[in-house]
Amino acid sequence: MISKEFHASRRELYAGLLEDGSVGFIFSGREREDRGDLMHHFVPYANFYYLTGFTQPKAVLMITKADGKVREDLFIDHPDEKAKRWLGLFYTKESVSEETGIENVQYLEKFEESLPFFRSPDRVRRVYIDIANWEGHFSHNEAQRFAARVREFDPTLEMHNTFRPLSLIRQVKTKEEITLHRRACDITAKGVENILTHLHPDMYEYEIEAHFDYTLRSMNARHAFPTIAASGINACCMHYEENNRRMQDGEMILFDLGAECGYYAADVSRTFPVNGKFTGLQRELYNIVLAGLDAAIKASRPGQPKNELQELSKSVMADELVRLGYMEKPEDISRYYFHGSGHYIGLYAHDVGDDNARLEEDMMFTLEPGLYFDDLKLGIRIEDTLLVTKNGCEVLSGKIPKTVEEIEAFMACKQREIWM
């Protein structure tokens, strides 16, 4: 896991976003019901975890900045004896203070009476609340409900949302974060190797997916997102997740998958021949996508506008498709390529950040060009997780076979070993 010193440094940056005479709030989130008396696995809101390292629901971080001084308060729920007995969950405000490095930890019943615009209205006239930009006006999450209550209490208080400025801070990773990303990519590579070792015709998609699942569990990792294992025509559906089709000899299967380590994600796509050998047409089209990816990787360096990488991949693939006679003009590529070529990665697989920004050292993002041919029942996507370095970029998912030759050689060798 990441150190409490890391989280303390992030709170310091957050405090720098606040004007004097203000208070900021970030909520960890609430558990969600699954079915019956079951609950979904709780994952804290990313910005809350980023600033605190605390992973339990119902918590609130409050940072007050007044008269040139900054005070940090963390309000937490406290498990009862039933939670300790049934869930093995128990902590105190003292243990949480030690764990997080936040000096002032109180239980939630102290929250409202501690609000500075109640106790010292002359010192605090601005309120900052972190509300994610994908939350709609009527979703009524905890942060939105709290913002409405504050507005109702005193309409004269200035209200600000810290979501975007925190997103920009999260764009550039620290060494600790990069270490966790690197570990997530290494685990993902092991999982893909396990897939390639066992992949063969007549398997169901969920059967081959299970080999990736096994690797993650055996290495104490979680999925960064639900795995896509899409064979044949299923690969032409961008977010296919049924994974229940039986694969046929001569087809290809597209995987979009990633491990999560310490809440930090890997995101990788690969497209493999089910029987271990590319046909001539599959090889030709696959190499077009790979050329688009390679061109964007080579251009990835500090100062490069991130959003231009999408057009670079698209241009390379369009020119190749025209040259080989698949299209008459480059503009026709929209028939075969209709998604973005990458995204930031971090505490979310599709992480926050400004897509119009120029790349900086220690930014992390993915590149994922693809081509999709409904008539051929063939979809090809190749995606890598990248770290921007001083003079270029490092492909953290580079251990995973990617060229036609690497894939065929790996599958021939490993499958021969397992079936002999």
Lowest pLDDT segment from 131-140, 308-317, 374-383: 131-140
The stretches of 105-174 forming alpha helices (DSSP H) are 116-119, 142-153, 163-170
| φ and ψ at residue 69, rounded to 5 degrees | -115, 150
According to DSSP, the β-strands at 252-257 and 228-231 are antiparallel
| Model confidence at 111: pLDDT above 50 | yes
Q: SS3 for 181?
A: helix
Least confident of 72-81, 99-108, 187-196, 207-216: 72-81
Lowest mean pLDDT among 62-76, 140-154, 297-311: 140-154
Work out the average pLDDT over 134-152: 79
pLDDT at 138 over 60: no
Angle at 372 between CA 357 and CA 414, to 5 degrees: 95
**Mean pLDDT value across residues 322-339:** 93
Give the residues across from 365 on adjacent strands.
Answer: 344, 386
Return the percentage of the chain with pLDDT > 90, whole number: 84
Confidence of residue 77 (pLDDT cuts 50, 70, 90): very high
Report DSSP state, residue 36. T
Q: Do residues 44 and 57 lie in contact, with contact meaning Cβ atoms separated by under 8 Å?
A: yes
Over residues 9-59, the pLDDT tens digits come to 999 999 999 999 999 999 999 988 888 777 788 899 999 999 999 999 999
pLDDT at 333: 96
Q: Are 58 and 28 in contact (CB under 8 A)?
A: yes
Residues with Cβ within 8 Å of residue 223, at least 6 apart in sequence? 213, 216, 257, 258, 259, 260
Rounded distance between C-alpha atoms, residue 243 and residue 231, angstroms: 8
pLDDT in tens, 246-263: 999 999 999 999 999 999
How many other CB atoms are there within 10 angstroms of residue 357's CB atom? 15
Q: Please give the pLDDT value at position 118.
A: 83
Provide the pLDDT for residue 52. Answer: 98
Task: Quote the CA–CA distance of 217 and 210 in Å, as a whole number.
Answer: 10
Q: Which residues contact 311 (CB under 8 A, 6 or more apart)?
A: none
User: Does the structure show a pLDDT above 50 at 420?
Assistant: no
User: Residue 417: pLDDT band by 50, 70, 90 thresholds?
Assistant: low
What is the value of pTM for the model shown? 0.94
pLDDT in tens, 199-250: 999 999 999 999 999 999 999 999 999 999 999 999 999 999 999 999 999 9
Q: What is the pLDDT of residue 139?
A: 60
Please state, rounded to an integer, the average pLDDT across all residues of the chain. Answer: 93
| 158: β partners | 126
> pLDDT tens-digit profile of 280-298?
999 999 999 999 999 999 9
User: What is the distance between the alpha carbons of residues 222 and 226, in angstroms, rounded to a whole number?
Assistant: 10
Number of neighbouring beta carbons within 10 Å of residue 380: 24
* Exposure b/e, 23-37, CB count within 10 A at least 16 = b: bbbbbbbeeeeeeee
Query: What are the φ and ψ backbone dihedral angles of 351, each rounded to 5 degrees?
Result: -90, 170
